Amino acid sequence: MIFFRSLNLFLCAICTGFVLAADVNLDIKPTLKNQKIQKEIIKKVKEDHFFKVNNIEEINNIFHEKLIESLDPSKVYFTKLEFEQYGNNLNDDIFDLNNSFKILNQYFNRLIEATSYQIEILKDFDFDFSKSEYIDVYSDDNKWKSSFAELRKEWFLLTKNDLLNEILDEDLSDETDIKQTLIDRYERRIRRIMQRTNEDYFSIIMNNFTSQFDPHSAYLSPKSAEDFDMQMSLSLEGIGALLGIEDDYAKVVSLVPGGPAAKSNQLSPDDRIVSIRQAYEEKSTDVVGWRIDEIVKLIRGDAGTEVELEIMPSKSLESSERKFVTLVREEVQLEEQAAKSKIISIDSDSRNYRVGIIELPAFYIDFNAWRERDPNFRSSSRDVEDILKSFNKNNVDAVLVDLRGNSGGSLYEANKLTGLFVASGATVQVKESSGNIRPWGDGRAKQIWKKPMAVLVDRYSASASEIFAGAIQDYKRGIVIGHRTFGKGTVQRLDDLSSGQIKITESKFYRVSGSSTQAKGIEPDIVLPSSWDIEETGESSLDESLPWDTIRPIRHRIYNLDDTAIQRASKNHIDRLTNDPNMQYILKVREKYDQRKNKKELSLNINERKKDKLDRRLWILNTENSRRNLLNIEVFNTYDDMEAFREEIDSEEISLENDFLLNESKNIIIDYLKFSSQLIAANQN
């Protein structure tokens, strides 16, 4: 619900009826080429998708409703009557492109109209930020508006909130320059809409179609394939980040291990980019509303040069929150992604324990060297094997493999790495769309590590990471610690069409126990606290994600992991949740996050927003200082001092002091060592 308490002034504003692009009326129509490719895509989905889609025609009954909802999820551009009118198919032809194109024409014309209106009220209306007005920030329960006038109320409040966010960010009393920044941003949005082509329309429609079957099947137009290649180039020769577009913002999709963005420890998936500044420029360039290829061109540059990004952090619930991140461009080398290790020595209960930590950011392999039969080619399994051998020489008692943030990589490497801990045997089962099931593994693997081990995972551990962690858990070879993993248990292939390509889900991963990794991911044996709601991301949060299911297990050895020792270690962990300052800190942050996440409305009163921002920063500072006091660590005088300290933390170093979850995982594995018989190497078939 939106609370609006200045209706008279609002009506005066809308009665002017200004429309910057009133003479623009997009009317793009489908072509015979579109119809040909559409038939090819439907045929591919019917024949090759993992789920044989025999009742594909039933999608036609809801297709246009789904299309409108994907275009207007917040329900601020279509009225209830328009949704019902356009949502119903106008004839019985399956996936009538004419109807779909009409919906897109209506949507983009309405978006131009709304944005033009926003520009005019910015030019001619003086906003009063002392009023008690609120904007809805929880769109899940929104209803379609009954009238066009109600839509305009929404546009007015959205504009006011955009302006307030910029004022709070700049902390300026003069709104003139800030208004112009917003006007420029809105005008770019209109220009971007007016550049829409038949190819753009067709891509939106067909991707809405493929998304009805699973979130990873997609149509790639020739232009989309080109943009994808550009993004991949950015990932290897720039800042090391893959980008996408969401709500006019360039969004960080993922970070490349070893790249400048990942090493900075200041960027996270889902962060949004507001502006970009080159080292030789005095002023940043606002890039909200830009095309992805234009943004990529600004970010790319010569190795060794600097670029500054203005970021809206994804985990912040204050929409005006900004931070500036300076990165040095460089080409990501394989060495930057390589496994790192550290041996931690701890005295406990009159005994010294040595824990070897292995941080693995990706399952990598130098394919070029491998193809050329270079005997010294680099790979994750080779590097980890060398580390494990050094751990054996140094009398390490247990190993902790850190796979947090590891989104996968080579399946071949996942198999090889598993073999270092369990010897030969299946690692994963793959079920194809034909129904055939085949095990994958390393039949010649030699077990290098025979002592206790644990695997640390989080919500961003995906694909190959889930295969490795799942195999370790199924073999009862080690303890899985952390958060539930991402849950991507499907495989896609790329097929050519007469124009463009289709990425289609063709098979599915299953563990040796028969359980799918899809949707549910890997459930840790011991769950660590999280400072945010992990259910907001991951496979299960995606629309139409394929379900979790099971197949028959395959025969595999079971190691003598001490279940009683795990239970006792888990109990000690639960006790630390109450007593350990670091664990208490994470729980307090999570509680605050949930309180703010569940807010239904956001004030448009500038004093309330400023107070809320100051209160939030003060709470963060006090919570951090409370933790430091309990640990007898020097406290911070100001919020800025705390932020500066955090930015200086070297993310490349394995640090128990600054990594609370890694430190707690170390505590868990030591507890296991204390309570277990340590007969891990013994096994039974």
Question: Which residues lie below 8 Å from residue 492, measured CB to CB, with a gap of 6+?
Answer: 216, 217, 503, 504, 505, 506
Specify the pLDDT at position 146. Answer: 96
Q: Among 532, 657, 537, which residue's Cα sits nearest to residue 587?
A: 532
Determine how β-strand 601-603 pairs with β-strand 558-559.
Answer: unpaired
| Orientation of helix 97-124 relative to helix 7-15, angle to 10° | 110
Cα(41)–Cα(31) distance, rounded to whole angstroms? 15
Specify the pLDDT at position 231. Answer: 45
Percent of the chain, pLDDT > 70?
Answer: 89
Specify the pLDDT at position 226. Answer: 60
Condensed to tens digits (0 to 9), the pLDDT of residues 379-399 reads 999 999 999 999 999 999 999
Neighbours of 633 (CB within 10 A): 13
Confidence of residue 176 (pLDDT cuts 50, 70, 90): low
The 3-state DSSP class for residue 137 equals: coil
Mean pLDDT of all residues in 623-637: 97
Identify which has the larger pLDDT, 249 or 484: 484
Same-domain check for residues 114 and 179:
yes
Neighbours of 210 (CB within 10 A): 23
Mean pLDDT of all residues in 451-476: 96
Specify the pLDDT at position 75. Answer: 95
Q: Among 505, 545, 402, which residue's Cα sits nearest to residue 460?
A: 402
Same-domain check for residues 518 and 402:
yes
Same-domain check for residues 140 and 208:
yes
- E-strand ranges in 468-593 read 479-482, 490-496, 501-510, 526-527, 558-559
Q: Among 309, 185, 312, which residue's Cα sits nearest to residue 241?
A: 309
Q: How far is CA 381 from the centre of its chain?
A: 26
Mean pLDDT of all residues in 15-27: 57
Looking at residue 271, which CATH number applies to its domain?
A: 2.30.42.10
Specify the pLDDT at position 683. Answer: 47
Condensed to tens digits (0 to 9), the pLDDT of residues 428-443 reads 999 998 899 999 988 8
Specify the pLDDT at position 103. Answer: 94
Q: Among 552, 539, 380, which residue's Cα sits nearest to residue 466?
A: 539
Percent of the chain, pLDDT > 90?
Answer: 58
The 3-state DSSP class for residue 120 equals: helix
Are the beta carbons of 267 and 243 closer than 8 angstroms?
no
Q: Could you tell me the maximum CA-CA distance found in the chain, to the nearest angstrom?
A: 83
Are the beta carbons of 538 and 522 closer than 8 angstroms?
no
Condensed to tens digits (0 to 9), the pLDDT of residues 287-317 reads 887 877 788 888 888 888 899 998 888 766 5
Q: Among 132, 147, 128, 57, which residue's Cα sits nearest to residue 96?
A: 57
**Virtual CA dihedral for 366, 372, 377, 380, nearest 10 degrees?**
40
Asked whether residue 599 is domain-assigned, the answer is no
Mean pLDDT of all residues in 460-479: 96
Are the beta carbons of 41 and 206 closer than 8 angstroms?
yes
What's the domain range around 85? 7-213
Identify which has the larger pLDDT, 280 or 93: 280
Specify the pLDDT at position 264. Answer: 83
Asked whether residue 134 is domain-assigned, the answer is yes
Specify the pLDDT at position 24. Answer: 67
Confidence of residue 237 (pLDDT cuts 50, 70, 90): low
The helix (run of H) or strand (run of E) holding residue 387 is helix 380-393
Same-domain check for residues 201 and 299:
no
| Minimum mean pLDDT range among 149-153, 186-190, 509-513 | 186-190
Same-domain check for residues 162 and 14:
yes
Mean pLDDT of all residues in 32-46: 94
Specify the pLDDT at position 373. Answer: 82
Same-domain check for residues 296 and 359:
no
Domain boundary among 520, 542, 558: 558
Same-domain check for residues 165 and 263:
no
> What angle is formed at CA 326 by the lines to CA 320 and CA 328, rounded to 5 degrees?
150
Position 3 pLDDT exceeds 80: no
Identify which has the larger pLDDT, 573 or 277: 573
Mean pLDDT of all residues in 270-282: 87
Amino acid code (one letter) for 444? R
Same-domain check for residues 344 and 478:
yes
Same-domain check for residues 522 and 428:
yes
Asked whether residue 613 is domain-assigned, the answer is no
Asked whether residue 651 is domain-assigned, the answer is no
Specify the pLDDT at position 365. Answer: 86
The 3-state DSSP class for residue 535 equals: helix
**Total domains present in the chain:** 3
Specify the pLDDT at position 233. Answer: 41
Identify which has the larger pLDDT, 217 or 246: 217
Question: Which residues lie below 8 Å from residue 669, measured CB to CB, with a gap of 6+?
Answer: 355, 398, 400, 452, 454, 479, 569
The CA R_g of the chain, rounded to the nearest whole Å, is: 27
Asked whether residue 345 is domain-assigned, the answer is yes
Asked whether residue 552 is domain-assigned, the answer is yes
User: What are 431's strand-pairing partners?
Assistant: 437, 508
The helix (run of H) or strand (run of E) holding residue 398 is strand 398-402
Q: Give me the sign of the Cα torsion angle 563, 569, 572, 578.
A: negative
The 3-state DSSP class for residue 679 equals: coil
Cα(503)–Cα(45) distance, rounded to whole angstroms? 10
Position 11 pLDDT exceeds 50: no
Domain boundary among 515, 540, 558: 558
Position 119 pLDDT exceeds 80: yes
Specify the pLDDT at position 483. Answer: 98
Domain boundary among 331, 347, 364: 331
Are the beta carbons of 160 and 264 closer than 8 angstroms?
no
Mean pLDDT of all residues in 206-222: 92
Asked whether residue 247 is domain-assigned, the answer is yes
Confidence of residue 334 (pLDDT cuts 50, 70, 90): low
Looking at residue 471, which CATH number applies to its domain?
A: 3.90.226.10
Termini Cα distance of the chain: 61
Specify the pLDDT at position 677. Answer: 65
Identify which has the larger pLDDT, 558 or 294: 558
Same-domain check for residues 136 and 264:
no
Identify which has the larger pLDDT, 88 or 106: 106
Specify the pLDDT at position 202. Answer: 96
Q: Which of the 8 DSSP states describes residue 526? A: E
Cα(166)–Cα(286) distance, rounded to whole angstroms? 12
Same-domain check for residues 207 and 309:
no
Cα(467)–Cα(413) distance, rounded to whole angstroms? 11
Asked whether residue 411 is domain-assigned, the answer is yes
Specify the pLDDT at position 252. Answer: 87
Specify the pLDDT at position 568. Answer: 96
Burial class (CB in 10 A: 0-12, 13-18, 19+), 384: buried
Mean pLDDT of all residues in 350-362: 94
Same-domain check for residues 246 and 191:
no
Mean pLDDT of all residues in 61-86: 91
Cα(116)–Cα(152) distance, rounded to whole angstroms? 12
Specify the pLDDT at position 174. Answer: 59
Identify which has the larger pLDDT, 104 or 370: 104
